[in-house]
Structure 1
Amino acid sequence: MNGYFENKVAAVTGAASGIALEMTEQLLKRGAKAVFMGDVKEENLTRESKRLEDKYPGKVFPILTDVTKEKQVARLIESAAEYAGHLDFVCNIAGMGMTLPTEQITFEIWDYIIDLNLKGVIYGTYTAIPIMRKQGFGHVVNASSIAGLVPVPYQAVYAATKAAVISMTESLQYELEVEGLCFSVFCPYNVRTPIFGDMAPPADSIGVDEAVEYILQEIEKKSVVIVLPQIARDLYALYREHKEEFDKFARNLAAERRENYRTKGTYY
């Protein structure tokens, strides 16, 4: 498995926590030449980059990056491209969840989630593309969610941004594969990361190490849409192949979340 990642240069956003941090560490473990870590939280970025630098000296480059700022994303990616004269991977992973009743959603929330979950990915993808086209190779990896593949009650804002990321990634794969570029988008179910904030992760969540192991296996295969774990693949199949059964599931989930908000103020 190491061959696809060995001696490669990567830029990763959201790299100081969660899936992005685990992916950064696993790329280094698999022999990456350098990983440029972008994150908006300076304290976390400093701590985690120092930890990884101790394990992989000379291969870790932290750059404070707010993905809602185009120039900051460009700085991260261009720095990675300049390091060894090639840019092999750009992993646009920074983002946040959003599960709220519709009456609590404001246009300000829409703007913020679009800026973070969608435009942040757009900035990373479209900064990488001209660099990768010029060199004739490169792999862009974008973070989405199972909520981008199937409708999920109480997640309309989040789902909208994640669905857009999937469509963009798939479209670019068909357009630019003839030039040597690859595009992947991973769509996880619940993974135990800081995305849940102060709440304990749901009981059906999987570990971040398990998630990243699967994602990297599929990236190496150059899979375009990566759905994980099995519960997510089953849910996606239910939506595509047994719509009436999915409708029952979604309506039951809506009722459960409605009652949870009424009695607990949270969705689970």
Structure 2
Amino acid sequence: MNTISPGVAVVTGASSGIGCATAKALQGAGYRVFGTSRGAASESLAASDNLEGVTMLACDVTDDESVAKLINEVLARAGRIDLLVNNAGIGLLGGAEESSIAQAQALFDVNVFGVLRVTNAVLPVMRRQRLGRIVNLSSLLGLIPAPYSALYAATKHAVEGYSESLDHELRGFGIRVVLVEPAYTRTSFEENLVRPDRLLEIYDAARDGMNTIMRTAIEAGDQPEVVARTILEAATASAPKRRYAAGKMARQVSLLRRFVPEFAFDKSLRKQNGLSA
């Protein structure tokens, strides 16, 4: 496969998990990498996460000024931005009606509008360069439904529609937008899930069951490095695909979603999630 030369990369949410593995993979491939974390950035953070060679900067993707400061700092240090990996995000597990509108908005503010903020800040730079690649971290749940993850799945479906549409808008400027869709990955995602802010007793048993299913799936899931390798492929392919399924499970489910009849896929999904027919 033909690849493009590495340049300057920005990876949001790089302090742990997939973001950390991605920053290391890009740095190893020759990129000059700037990673972000929501807390204060420091050399000690990079060292503690084995991110030597990666410059860590603070950025809150829900804050316009913080995003603008990040991009200005990267430009002051490196002069350009060739690759943006929008990885920062949070999860939420619970019945859809168990979250207030305010909680749903907060989730979208990170997972969707956070992507928009950082992308909008980077696009003028890439348009001037007539060159750039944006890799947006979606999820298998951006492709399929997920009971008790309705709001999280909604954010990822939104990112999918945004990314696919944006790619068509930007190709004339030499910029490509691609999606990476991981399945369950061995990170602290489950531990850091946001809990619904108005729990309903009627959902307790099903919610607890889904929590157990998710914990088991994560324990058996792909290592973050598997996703990082897929992101590197998406970042460097000279003629990128629209979306990349990351890992064996994601590839299998993606194929099943395309070719299995809807009623059969629906029945299988309910069975695997412990739901009655």
Normalised by the shorter chain, which TM-score bucket? 0.7 to 0.9
Larger displacement relative to structure 2 (151-160 or 68-77): 68-77
5+ long unaligned stretches in structure 2:
193-214
1:266 match: none
Deviation at 1:2, TM superposition (A): 11
Deviation at 1:10, TM superposition (A): 1.3
Task: Give the TM-score, by structure 2 length.
Answer: 0.82
Q: Which structure shows the higher helix fraction?
A: 1
Aligned to 2:227, what secondary structure does the other structure show? helix
CA distance in 2, matches of 1:195, 1:68: 19
Residue 178, structure 1, aligned to residue 172, structure 2: yes
Is the CA contact (8 Å cut-off) linking 2:90 and 2:107 kept in structure 1? yes
Alignment of structure 1 residues 61-80 onto 2, 5 Å: 61-80=55-74
1:135 to 110, 125, 129: 129
CA distance in 1, matches of 2:274, 2:30: 48
Deviation at 1:4, TM superposition (A): 3.4
Deviation at 1:175, TM superposition (A): 1.5
Q: How many equivalent residue pairs?
A: 251
1:48 to 29, 41, 45: 45
- The one of the two structures with greater contact order (alpha-carbon pairs below 8 A, sep at least 6) is 2
Residue 187, structure 1, aligned to residue 205, structure 2: no
Is the CA contact (8 Å cut-off) linking 2:135 and 2:234 kept in structure 1? no
Residue 20, structure 1, aligned to residue 19, structure 2: yes
2:36 match: 38
Q: Which amino acid aligns with 1:233?
A: R
Is the CA contact (8 Å cut-off) linking 1:144 and 1:188 kept in structure 2? yes
Q: Percent identity?
A: 31
Q: Which amino acid aligns with 2:243?
A: V
1:249 match: 268
| Change over 3 Å in CA distance of 1:203–1:21 after alignment to 2 | closer
CA distance in 2, matches of 1:112, 1:24: 26
* CA root-mean-square deviation: 2.4
Aligned to 2:35, what secondary structure does the other structure show? strand
Aligned to 1:196, what secondary structure does the other structure show? coil
1:154 match: 148
2:258 to 240, 251, 254: 240
CA distance in 2, matches of 1:107, 1:217: 37
Task: Give the TM-score, by structure 1 length.
Answer: 0.85
CA distance in 1, matches of 2:217, 2:269: 20
